Structure 1
Amino acid sequence: MSQPSTSITYLTFQGVFKAISHIFFREIKTTDIQNVPASGPCIFIVGPHANQFVDGVVYMSVNPRPSYALMAAVSYDKPLIGHVGKILNAIPVVRPQDIVNVGTGKIKYDPVNQPLQLQGQDTKFMEEIGTRDFIVFGRNYKVHVSKVLSDTLLEITHSIQVDQQVVGDDYVPFKIAPHVDQTAVYDEVYNYLNRNECVTIFPEGGSHDRSEMLPLKAGFAVMALGAAAANPALDIKIVPVGLNYFHPDRFRSRAVVSFGQPMTIDKADVAKYKLGGKDKREAVTKLLDQSDEAFKTVTVNAPDYDTLMVVQAARRLYVPKSNAKPSIEQVVKLNRHFVSLWAKLKGDPSLEAIVKKVKYYNNMLTFFGIRDYQVDKLNITPVKAAYQLIKRITKLVAMAGLGAPALISNLPLIWITSYISKKKQKQALAGSSVKIAGKDVLATWKVIVAAFAAPALYGVYALFYLAYLLKHKPNLSLNAKLTRAGLIWAIQPILHYLLMRLGDTGLDIYKSIKPLFLAIRNPEAGEIIRSMRKDLSKDITEFINLHAPELGIDGNGSSSSSVAPSTTSSSSNHSSANITQVSRSNSDTNLMDQRNSTSSSTSFLEASFSTTTDDMPESYLVSSRDESFLEYSSTDELNESKYHVESIVLNEEDGGDEQSSALSQI
């Protein structure tokens, strides 16, 4: 088996992945890449897994250390993805959830009177279930079978907490996830680590589109501790890698890949792991907790979408002392720090006030159809706005004239990628209990479909040109005609890429037009929005600077120390959005004075929003719907023990088969 560090094939695929990444994404940045160990055994844990196979493409394109990736067997067996995995020597893993079966009959679980037993009704436990299988029921409640007593009674390894309102006292349907022996997988991982190679794992176990990371699975921790226990000379490093997308499913969006500080495995934990039983579970749990905290330094882990929207708004309103526009890397770090601040100050009554202010501001922008970054463009006279509007529309028309042929010729490609990706989105959502809308598969299928459809479409156009030459250019030789048609086929991707870059510029110009319309149509409304933003920005900036030492940042929003942001656990209960505390300053009074002086505009705005002002901050006379952009409560799918560590050690006398149970959590 070839080693990726010296494999030309690996480097070739890495180059291809870089090309794919930079076509789909407008910008990809990396932060702290110096944290990647230059040599020695290493396990990269990558998350959040928000973009299915595109995650692997982006990660591999920027990681300077080649590595072997663990890959779900169902993906490994797919025609295209699996073939790439085989070429890159990926390690296939059979996941129990991929071979789950529907059980015969129904079951009932009584956590009070019979916490270690499951009762069946019309079931065939003896025929369908074996020791170490998983039983899944309700909203993804999962128990581990320790012994099958009869066709209607079995024992489980440990009790779980269930919501009786969900499960009830009645018998419910169930599914069976068979036990899978993963010894060969562990042996292969150990071999790579012993050769000072790297292994990559997505420890959430599957892709999703949630705003927070799923609970980390125990597999990678058992691998690291097991390898260190088997070879004490190994100095294994665990490196957290954060994939931060601004719009993961959107073509020409942006991404930041952050590499965290390498973690060294404690020798004391390795010794405890060797003891087995409770000590082994404690060692694994400790490493998982450390990894969970490490992920918080490289990811933005908001508890829900509403909180994430408020966090991003607060970050945009924050002004660093340098007054410099933050880079894309700094934007991700600021989002991370603001989520940390939300966690520290959660429950403070003053937080609710600033949350309302930010939401009112966001909703006002939505009402007028502009974005936050466009507000500064409202500081312009109607005459200048009209001049700029004419100038930019002229540029836009010229660019549209250049780009229209490319757009029209690519309409079939756009349609088919959109159609198939949305179809796959529906299928993925139907087969998952943790996805919100199934958006994590969109980018993957857009890339896969385009990879085949684009060359085929350009080939069709080349054939049309060849047909034209055959009919209208009889003096040309056949070789000349074929050569010209081939050149037409080859030049189209290059031409369309250049026009795509031109389209990026045109899109920026288009986005600047809306605020110019508002500045011409209603300059007073623009002034009120700018005043609101200025005052809100001042309050947020003062508060962030006040709490900068707690967050480990300086006044410019950059990390001032190695202190890791302390956020809520990825498996904690989710609450409604509270983001950042702002002192009630004189800016409230100033804004009131400004609005009193522009009463006509205020009346217009108040009439535009048919809501009362009884519960809003006194500085805000303008309100709109105070609702979440996307609401969902904490799900019951993730309500079992934090990392399922209790199921790692089933039976010590079985000698190492506990690895299979742990790997089933990968």
Structure 2
Amino acid sequence: MANQQYIPPQVGWMYDLVLWTFSVLIDLFFREVHPRGSWKVPKRGPLIIVAAPHANQFVDSLVLMRVIRTEVHRRISWLIAEKSFKRKFIGLLSKGIGAVPVSRAMDNMKVGAGKIYLPDPINEPTLLRGYGTKFDGPGFEPEGTIHLPTINEKSYSATIAEIRGPEELVLKKPIKEKDALYQLTGRDDITDDGKFTGTASENGSSDFQGSKFKVAPHVDQTAVYKAVFGRLSHGGCIGIFPEGGSHDRPELLPLKAGVAIMALGSLAENPDSGLKIVPCGMNYFHAHKFRSRAVVEFGTPIDIPPELVEKYKRGERREAVGELLDTIYHSLLSVTVNGPDYKTLMVVQAARRLYNTKGKKLPLPMVVELNRRLVRGYTHYKGDPRIIKLENSIESYNKELRLLGLRDHQVEYANFSIIQVLFTLVYRLSKLTLLTVGTLPGLILFAPVFVATKSISRQKSKEALAASTVKLQGRDVMATWKLLVALAFAPAVYALYTTLFTYWTYRNRIQGYVPEWVPLWAMVLLGVVLFPTITFAALRIGEVGMDIVKSLRPLILSLNPSSANTLVKLRTRREELSHEVTEVINTLGPDLFPDFDSARIVADPFRDSDQAVHVEEAKEDGEPRPSSLKRDSYTTQEPLPRNESFHNLASIGFFSTRPPSRNSASGRAPAGTTGAFLTAPSALDSNEGLDEISKRIHSAMRERGQERRRRSEDMSWDMASTGSATPPEEEDMKEK
């Protein structure tokens, strides 16, 4: 139990050592990890970071630890499952970073004997009976939980209030979920809100035998809460995944009450501590795949209302915890992308690509934000006939892409002439040949590790799926096991290579190529450096090569007259679909997002093209051309989109980890920075328009002066209270 488990203190140098060791693996596994909004995270004071979705088991913790340590210079005390804490390697690392072990009911879950059912769900909805059950046996106790099998990709549970015998118990609350009631009654006359429309005799099934189930005992978390309160009282940072265990579902799971109890309990003991809760979205692109991408987004810190703490102290704990959980849940929705199912996410992602018709390569944080808005719009208007028609068209388009083995951006290859296709194909094949030569040595050396990581991670994924009631495919554990296996197996493989390399030198000086005066210890050092270097070089070179391999199929299809004609038709259909997507978004978007036009993420390509024509006509008449239109009329310089990293995100205000500086906001910043491209263009076609703009500029300058005076007063107060003569912004830059 958690109250008997030793909870180790956090040692700073050991935490940093573990983080530094695994940061190398994080850099190898992920192609890009972008923090967004990290300036919102308080650098001092008690803090609880709630992260979701928990899609990558232990990898989520490592990624967030690194971002917080780099951006905010704080260390996180994680709450970790006691089951994982007891594992040798994971437990050793957890103790090194000062994690707090938590005993979870799901880890002690066991299959119950017999089957259960609701005998009278209308008149006695909390009475539960069983066939061949042993409710009075071990594992069953008040406050324990009954878990039903997964149905329609969802699982349901209920808390035990009273045990009356081996085949009868009372639940704490009636079950309201339609699928759960079906499992426990066998009746199909159930509405979506859990109501029965008929009588048992009319709709009951004569061959219904009940449902299988699992049982989990109640867990006492007193020692865990005590440890958390102690660390928060000393200004520590607690990290928690409020969904509980990791999963691979497209939506957030219901949040556990523990995080709310920790926050309210800590403030009940120390009301003036200034505790804040920061929501954090872990947004991955193919989380389980090697060289994937991620965006770690932080939301606005949550200040817990004093009246909620008072309600908790008065004994109204259920109400207070429920209100705070609801606040946390909605805060997490603002920093994550949540869809009801994978089908919805696929449609939304396709709509996002079709909406970005100019081929502008969007940084990852912008992609996440656009996906989030599209999911919200789709969920809100999913019953609209225009959305239904658009959804069907997009699904049909995606099906054609899958049949041809193409990706959406590759449809543009239909624009190429035969000569251009031949030249591009020959060039890329030549480049691929050279890259293969550079990749092959490292690929051969690292092949045993690749095979081991893939096979073991798949096996662990199957085991995790079998033991879980919420996972869909068990992909959430694959990245973790790939890293763990590589961490253990790669050094052993390199040590073997180094041993063989040294022995070869000892036997015949590598066929006489190594002089006699070269000592064997030098060859050992050379092997230690040489083999990992070759592997890393192969990794980076092979990454480029794989992008080229993926681009060959559309080029080959373009050379075949029949498939080339299909590709041209598909491109025409894509253009029509893109117009349809843009029209629907521009029509419905302003109703859902009041700042739709002023904070547009992707410029309207069709409206901008029309404006560009008017601007050219105005230019011929001698009128000035607005610079804002020139800024937004973007055309890509790359005919073939490639997967490249953005290294200057910090200069773009929309994605920067801190608010824009005075220099970047003063107009001296390069075009396109500080979120300038997100502003709707203004047309200056009269003297009245110029006067209006002038008034706005003067008003903004007055507000800017007031802001500077206020910040000067705040800075003077900080300098007086901290004894620092350096403004906070400059201190931040020095730390960076």
TM, length-normalised to structure 2:
0.72
Note if contact 1:17-1:60 (Cα within 8 Å) is conserved in structure 2: no
Moved more, 192-201 or 508-517: 508-517
For residues 366 and 116 of structure 1, the distance between their equivalents in structure 2, rounded to whole angstroms, comes to 49
Shift of 1:432: 1.1
1:90 is the counterpart of 2:99 = yes
1:234 is the counterpart of 2:286 = no
Q: Name the structure 2 match of 1:602.
A: none
Shift of 1:547: 4.0
1:319 is the counterpart of 2:328 = no
Q: Name the structure 2 match of 1:248.
A: 287
Q: Name the structure 2 match of 1:636.
A: none
Task: Give SS of 2:324's match.
Answer: helix
* Count of residues paired in the alignment: 557
For residues 249 and 138 of structure 1, the distance between their equivalents in structure 2, rounded to whole angstroms, comes to 26
For residues 210 and 263 of structure 1, the distance between their equivalents in structure 2, rounded to whole angstroms, comes to 26
Task: Give SS of 1:144's match.
Answer: strand
The residue type paired with residue 170 of structure 2 is E
Q: Name the structure 2 match of 1:640.
A: none
Corresponding residue to 1:146 among 127, 140, 161: 161
Tell me the alpha carbon deviations over residues 61-92 of structure 1, each in whole angstroms, 9 at most, x when there is no partner.
11133110000000111111111111111010
Shift of 1:2: 8.7
1:125 is the counterpart of 2:135 = yes
For residues 296 and 136 of structure 1, the distance between their equivalents in structure 2, rounded to whole angstroms, comes to 27
Tell me the alpha carbon deviations over residues 504-559 of structure 1, each in whole angstroms, 9 at most, x when there is no partner.
21122222222222222234333222222222223322333344443355559757
Corresponding residue to 2:593 among 551, 554, 566: 551
For residues 587 and 75 of structure 2, the distance between their equivalents in structure 1, rounded to whole angstroms, comes to 43
Alignment of 1:359-374 (within 5 A): 359-374=395-410
Assess, with a 3 A threshold, how the Cα gap between structure 1 residues 70 and 399 changes in structure 2: closer, same or farther: same
Assess, with a 3 A threshold, how the Cα gap between structure 1 residues 556 and 541 changes in structure 2: closer, same or farther: farther
Task: Give SS of 1:207's match.
Answer: coil
The residue type paired with residue 356 of structure 2 is V
Task: Give SS of 2:253's match.
Answer: coil
Q: Name the structure 2 match of 1:22.
A: 27
Task: Give SS of 1:232's match.
Answer: coil
For residues 136 and 547 of structure 1, the distance between their equivalents in structure 2, rounded to whole angstroms, comes to 42
Q: Name the structure 1 match of 2:566.
A: 525
Q: Name the structure 2 match of 1:262.
A: 301
Alignment of 1:48-67 (within 5 A): 48-63=53-68, 64=72, 65-67=74-76
Corresponding residue to 1:41 among 46, 51, 54: 46
Alignment of 1:567-606 (within 5 A): none
Assess, with a 3 A threshold, how the Cα gap between structure 1 residues 154 and 479 changes in structure 2: closer, same or farther: farther
For residues 228 and 115 of structure 2, the distance between their equivalents in structure 1, rounded to whole angstroms, comes to 39
Tell me the alpha carbon deviations over residues 80-121 of structure 1, each in whole angstroms, 9 at most, x when there is no partner.
111111111101000111112334444433332332333344
Higher relative contact order (CA 8 A, sep 6+): 1
Assess, with a 3 A threshold, how the Cα gap between structure 1 residues 179 and 411 changes in structure 2: closer, same or farther: same
1:500 is the counterpart of 2:510 = no
Q: Could you tell me which runs of 5 or more consecutive residues in structure 1 were left unpaired when the two chains were aligned.
A: 561-581, 583-666
Shift of 1:11: 2.1
Q: Name the structure 2 match of 1:570.
A: none
Tell me the alpha carbon deviations over residues 350-401 of structure 1, each in whole angstroms, 9 at most, x when there is no partner.
1111112111221222222211122223311011110111011000001101
The residue type paired with residue 159 of structure 2 is H
For residues 329 and 532 of structure 1, the distance between their equivalents in structure 2, rounded to whole angstroms, comes to 29
1:445 is the counterpart of 2:481 = yes
Assess, with a 3 A threshold, how the Cα gap between structure 1 residues 527 and 153 changes in structure 2: closer, same or farther: closer
Corresponding residue to 1:77 among 82, 86, 109: 86
Note if contact 1:17-1:58 (Cα within 8 Å) is conserved in structure 2: no
Shift of 1:199: 0.5
Corresponding residue to 2:182 among 165, 186, 200: 165
Shift of 1:43: 0.8
Alignment of 1:615-630 (within 5 A): none
Q: Name the structure 2 match of 1:465.
A: 501
For residues 558 and 250 of structure 1, the distance between their equivalents in structure 2, rounded to whole angstroms, comes to 31
Q: Name the structure 2 match of 1:535.
A: 576
Q: Name the structure 2 match of 1:309.
A: 346
1:12 is the counterpart of 2:17 = yes
The residue type paired with residue 306 of structure 2 is K
Assess, with a 3 A threshold, how the Cα gap between structure 1 residues 356 and 102 changes in structure 2: closer, same or farther: closer
Task: Give SS of 2:300's match.
Answer: coil
Task: Give SS of 2:146's match.
Answer: strand
For residues 8 and 459 of structure 2, the distance between their equivalents in structure 1, rounded to whole angstroms, comes to 38
Shift of 1:125: 3.2
Q: Name the structure 1 match of 2:429.
A: 393
For residues 478 and 87 of structure 1, the distance between their equivalents in structure 2, rounded to whole angstroms, comes to 44
Q: Name the structure 2 match of 1:350.
A: 386
Note if contact 1:17-1:61 (Cα within 8 Å) is conserved in structure 2: no
Tell me the alpha carbon deviations over residues 569-593 of structure 1, each in whole angstroms, 9 at most, x when there is no partner.
xxxxxxxxxxxxx9xxxxxxxxxxx
For residues 594 and 87 of structure 2, the distance between their equivalents in structure 1, rounded to whole angstroms, comes to 45
1:208 is the counterpart of 2:247 = yes
% same residue? 39
For residues 227 and 444 of structure 2, the distance between their equivalents in structure 1, rounded to whole angstroms, comes to 50
For residues 387 and 156 of structure 1, the distance between their equivalents in structure 2, rounded to whole angstroms, comes to 72
Q: Could you tell me which runs of 5 or more consecutive residues in structure 2 were left unpaired when the two chains were aligned.
A: 1-6, 186-207, 607-736
Q: Who wins on radius of gyration, i.e. which is larger?
A: 2
Calculate the aligned-residue CA RMSD, in Å.
2.5
Shift of 1:467: 1.9
For residues 52 and 327 of structure 1, the distance between their equivalents in structure 2, rounded to whole angstroms, comes to 26
For residues 491 and 556 of structure 1, the distance between their equivalents in structure 2, rounded to whole angstroms, comes to 54
For residues 83 and 464 of structure 1, the distance between their equivalents in structure 2, rounded to whole angstroms, comes to 32
Q: Name the structure 2 match of 1:430.
A: 466
Alignment of 1:475-490 (within 5 A): 480-490=519-529
The residue type paired with residue 244 of structure 1 is N
For residues 409 and 207 of structure 1, the distance between their equivalents in structure 2, rounded to whole angstroms, comes to 33
Assess, with a 3 A threshold, how the Cα gap between structure 1 residues 527 and 266 changes in structure 2: closer, same or farther: same
Assess, with a 3 A threshold, how the Cα gap between structure 1 residues 109 and 293 changes in structure 2: closer, same or farther: same
The residue type paired with residue 164 of structure 2 is L
Assess, with a 3 A threshold, how the Cα gap between structure 1 residues 123 and 256 changes in structure 2: closer, same or farther: same
